[in-house]
Structure 1
């Protein structure tokens, strides 16, 4: 029989005190989470009958979006859950519709061993599909709407999808699919199966049993190669939501204007956060800056989730096009998905006030750090600080920690690191910490500064050169609307920097003027030897610049 023994050298009192302290250390994060959820209104007193129904829902669905919408349907059934171009659905309606959709999918042969691919823009059908698949236990593969037809076929084959749920516009571009298809968003009449038909023709009632915990598979951006499927872990509880709220003060019942695409990790994170806090999601199928401002005003949105290029497009509007809209309801504008240029952060907060949060993370790492509006005002472009329960280290090539102020590789540990790629393999891990693939440093105030991707750094004439530093300098020129800087091959120096610049409408600038005006801010080796003027930067559907397509414009280079 195994017996507990007091560690050598400790008295009985010391051992008891150590045991109490260990228990307190384990309990402290739980109490912190509970207090934060109470403070933000997510947890509050309710009638015993509602509490009992919530317990049953938790036992039924586990910690999933299905639980979030079931809880919201119990607590405030008539509150709008989703508002899109076709109107609003209440939480009770969405709860009932997703159960019927789950039954309709089961009648179509979808089981917990199935995999459902989804090719949709932001609208209620996408939300309902994710929730309904969770009620069945089938994995969901979120497809990037910007993939080309041959990429789409490759991804569908690799992911072994059993069913494709897609907006009609994308199905028309993929006429030869050997796959069962259900249409989500349609225009006019159609003879094909639709989500509305599955919902309308399925009976209400309970599903047969508690499903397995389904996975959501998100594709990497594919800016440097073929997109890979990344298995997202199921949240272990409400802890991840509380972690984000520790740096970004989201409240229960927010009205979230979700402009970032849900098929991307950032949009999916916003959707998951929204389901956890009972938020109303305001969705639009396509982002148009003036319409986004109009939707914020019309629905009194309190939070706006975007990718940085959307902020740029808003600020590109003439002042007279922005001023008529009342955006005073916005407390939080959360940007992620690509690097936030320092100048863009400054200009946005000058117009809209100190409401901007810079969320630094990735498909593989989930979150790493969050910069608050005050931090962005003090150090524009910073990635801020890690939220509670998250560890960030800057390591050198040997895995040793580098001193603050020096550049190294960024590693992170949190509760939601990805589980690997669906095709096999993963990211480098050192002592339980995942490599983000980025380079960065910790500044004098303890804030994380992201220098750029590891594979973006070039060696030019023996010097390590980081393109982001040059990008940030060029972006401050008032004639410049957008800029991207990458490394290109050079016969003499090995590599050199090439800047791709989009000018503000009506502005004039030449390559030599660009170099001369940023020269005081940059060392000589960081000046771009090539400057290419483009009408727009080639971006994918999530707003990331695609370097391979940038190089296609090099014929217009000025030196």
Structure 2
């Protein structure tokens, strides 16, 4: 008969690390989820009249997740530490001894089985082993063990190929019927694994199926293939050809998609221009990329009206502002279908987010075989021939990725020109949408709708709400899943590396702030300044390797590279479960009074305040400490919150260096067209005064 856990467990562990350093980590709540399995999160709470209180998130999604408040009682410094859970009558007492670079930890557990029901089935030896492994990982952090690399099939070509084959077969991306497979492969062989190939393959297999539904109507896969052929022929007739590049300034609709597909078939590169940019910035991008023509929505013409007259312009929609402006529809009606197929299809140039200044143009690679769709299917079980809603802008990497996915899955894509939270729910109900591609601001806007409004729409068809583009606050993650079910996925990536990790609903239930794990064919490492992996739980630079790394910037030096991986520009760490967490941008970290301080933990903490709608924290110069944090807060209407309350709250939850000296309340935060907060507009402006053009031109009033 197996021995079960007893009420009292005593153990002793030897740790090859200095006692004071181990003590400091044990008093940091962030240490516990990084090094001990079964702990998804831990945060310091502000409990009036209490000593330090940590709230642990423990368990598993299968066995249940529990939030447990633990009172931290310190005795003699560096020697005695106790963790009490009065509500269940359990505690752990630690005594530390030793000198130099070794210490001994003596631990007594009382009633550990009360912490979680799964523990009652464990043995004393299992709990002792769990404790010893966690303490050894603390020692690994202190001695710099090189353990922070997680690989999903990227290092084994045979395993990778077999797993790709399995994913595309079980999902139905590749049909088992020989004639269907032949139709797909012939189309993909002609145009490649890109948008053109995807629509051509869909036209060959399901010609009558709706491919794109926009505010004006719908197009079948056959329509998309035929019309893009005609548009490519017309582009060739007006002098465009392989090696040229055009600019595309458009909101989401079928004409935008047809322009991208036609240019790709002709071998013409397409620079996707952000509709939220200023006219001056667009002018700089047009000159930098030497664009041969512009395809522009009629209501965005004012952004290009001052460009040189010798750049031809065509309208992508049916609302031209000038009578003599040719539209995409006019070009298609010319009926030119003959054009020379290029040796290489045209590429899409996506602009970086521009959160630190002028956006850079990044050349996106073409998907290489079925590996791209297999990678995402390995973490997100999307369905063939379903309906996908993409309110995220197609000129953004994530919106574009969703469109590319839709062609491989032969989805019907619903494209709203502008995002409106209620219209989004209405579209889900009307079209029975199963997958929705969003950016985090859209998740927040949907949750901000009154409950009565949300209840009007049947969203039961939704299976996957996939967010990417910026961090999701942990409180937002849990609130969304409590409202709509465990259907939320969080993708971490960038224009340069495509995807890096994907957090599934299971990951997010356990650790709401995680960025997840690498999908198939991806390697992620957290590296130190020497380009060597840092220990599990330690913070370093995030590097990513996969087959979709970008082909370089148009006119800028590439990011740092190490061991075939690219630097994302973010800092983060892996926990013991292999999940990645983002600490923040490397250029956002500040040094205040000699301490490294990140804005994101402060943003996460403030997001838990019920009075706070949105928050951004940035570093600003400080004459005494070198730098300090400044918080910019948007309150819910009528909420009572002042600067002193914000500072007191953070002082009780985080370190004193994390307390924002400046707290500014704003009506809205400056955001780009994709919804990402433009922190460079806030940095250096602790008074919160932004140029009216910044606020008005960035859609910060509620629409994205």
TM-score clears 0.5? yes
Residue 92, structure 1, aligned to residue 225, structure 2: no
Residue 28, structure 1, aligned to residue 173, structure 2: no
Q: Hey, what does 1:141 align to over in structure 2? A: 271
Match of 2:608 among 470, 476, 479: 476
Q: Hey, what does 1:172 align to over in structure 2? A: 302
Q: How many residues align?
A: 532
Partner of 1:368, secondary structure, is: strand
Q: C-alpha offsets along residues 367-400 of structure 1, whole Å, 9 cap, x if unaligned?
A: 1100001111111120010112111111111112
Q: CA deviation at 1:549?
A: 2.2
Residues 298, 320 of structure 2: 8 Å contact kept = no
Query: C-alpha distance in 2, partners of 1:454/1:142?
Result: 27
Residues 134, 211 of structure 1: 8 Å contact kept = no
Query: C-alpha distance in 2, partners of 1:453/1:57?
Result: 41
Residues 464, 489 of structure 2: 8 Å contact kept = yes
Q: Hey, what does 1:512 align to over in structure 2? A: 644
- Structure 1 residues 452 and 26, CA gap change in structure 2 (3 angstroms): closer
Residue 194, structure 1, aligned to residue 327, structure 2: yes
Partner of 2:542, secondary structure, is: strand
Partner of 1:392, secondary structure, is: strand
Residue 279, structure 1, aligned to residue 411, structure 2: yes
Question: Which 10-residue stretch deviates more, 486-495 or 51-60?
Answer: 51-60
Question: Which 10-residue stretch deviates more, 444-453 or 168-177?
Answer: 168-177
Query: C-alpha distance in 1, partners of 2:503/2:185?
Result: 36
Query: C-alpha distance in 2, partners of 1:419/1:168?
Result: 32
Query: C-alpha distance in 1, partners of 2:627/2:537?
Result: 26
Query: C-alpha distance in 2, partners of 1:226/1:311?
Result: 27
| Matching of residues 227-266 of structure 1 within 5 Å | 227-266=359-398
| Matching of residues 130-529 of structure 1 within 5 Å | 130-178=260-308, 179-187=311-319, 190-203=323-336, 205=337, 207-529=339-661
Partner of 2:547, secondary structure, is: coil
Residue 64, structure 1, aligned to residue 194, structure 2: yes
Q: CA deviation at 1:306?
A: 0.6
Query: C-alpha distance in 1, partners of 2:558/2:685?
Result: 33
Q: Structure 1-normalised TM-score?
A: 0.92
Query: C-alpha distance in 1, partners of 2:379/2:182?
Result: 32
Query: C-alpha distance in 1, partners of 2:454/2:343?
Result: 47
Residues 135, 211 of structure 1: 8 Å contact kept = no
- Structure 1 residues 173 and 410, CA gap change in structure 2 (3 angstroms): closer
Residues 136, 211 of structure 1: 8 Å contact kept = no
Partner of 2:239, secondary structure, is: coil
Residues 388, 411 of structure 2: 8 Å contact kept = yes
Q: Specify which structure has the bigger relative contact order, considering alpha-carbon pairs within 8 angstroms and separated by 6 or more residues.
A: 2
- Structure 1 residues 556 and 131, CA gap change in structure 2 (3 angstroms): closer
Q: Hey, what does 1:126 align to over in structure 2? A: 256
Partner of 1:555, secondary structure, is: coil
Residues 616, 631 of structure 2: 8 Å contact kept = yes
Q: C-alpha offsets along residues 239-280 of structure 1, whole Å, 9 cap, x if unaligned?
A: 011101101111211311001111011111111111121111
Residues 266, 340 of structure 2: 8 Å contact kept = no
Q: C-alpha offsets along residues 14-59 of structure 1, whole Å, 9 cap, x if unaligned?
A: xxxxxxxxxx9643322211211111121113463x5444343233
Q: CA deviation at 1:211?
A: 4.5
- Structure 1 residues 308 and 112, CA gap change in structure 2 (3 angstroms): same
Query: C-alpha distance in 1, partners of 2:256/2:665?
Result: 38
Query: C-alpha distance in 2, partners of 1:220/1:338?
Result: 13
Residue 111, structure 1, aligned to residue 237, structure 2: no
Query: C-alpha distance in 2, partners of 1:547/1:252?
Result: 39
Question: Which 10-residue stretch deviates more, 313-322 or 179-188?
Answer: 179-188
Residues 591, 626 of structure 2: 8 Å contact kept = yes
Q: Hey, what does 1:8 align to over in structure 2? A: none
> Which structure has the larger Rg over C-alpha atoms?
2
Query: C-alpha distance in 1, partners of 2:156/2:659?
Result: 51
Query: C-alpha distance in 1, partners of 2:189/2:484?
Result: 43
Match of 2:677 among 541, 545, 550: 545
Partner of 1:346, secondary structure, is: helix
Q: CA deviation at 1:519?
A: 2.9
Q: CA deviation at 1:185?
A: 1.8
Query: C-alpha distance in 2, partners of 1:51/1:253?
Result: 16
Structure 1: state its 5+ residue gaps: 1-23
Query: C-alpha distance in 2, partners of 1:552/1:483?
Result: 16
Q: C-alpha offsets along residues 410-467 of structure 1, whole Å, 9 cap, x if unaligned?
A: 1111111112110041010011111110000111322101000000000001100010
Q: C-alpha offsets along residues 144-181 of structure 1, whole Å, 9 cap, x if unaligned?
A: 11110100000000011001001011113322222100
Residues 231, 328 of structure 2: 8 Å contact kept = yes
Q: Hey, what does 1:38 align to over in structure 2? A: 169
Give the root-mean-square deviation of aligned CA atoms.
1.7
- Structure 1 residues 56 and 528, CA gap change in structure 2 (3 angstroms): same
Residues 410, 440 of structure 1: 8 Å contact kept = yes
Q: CA deviation at 1:360?
A: 0.2
Residues 394, 401 of structure 1: 8 Å contact kept = yes
Q: Hey, what does 1:4 align to over in structure 2? A: none
- Structure 1 residues 187 and 429, CA gap change in structure 2 (3 angstroms): same
Partner of 1:554, secondary structure, is: coil
- Structure 1 residues 552 and 410, CA gap change in structure 2 (3 angstroms): closer
Q: Hey, what does 1:15 align to over in structure 2? A: none
Q: Structure 2-normalised TM-score?
A: 0.74
Partner of 1:333, secondary structure, is: strand
Q: CA deviation at 1:212?
A: 1.9
Residues 357, 371 of structure 1: 8 Å contact kept = yes
Query: C-alpha distance in 1, partners of 2:518/2:338?
Result: 42
Q: CA deviation at 1:518?
A: 3.2
Q: Hey, what does 1:21 align to over in structure 2? A: none
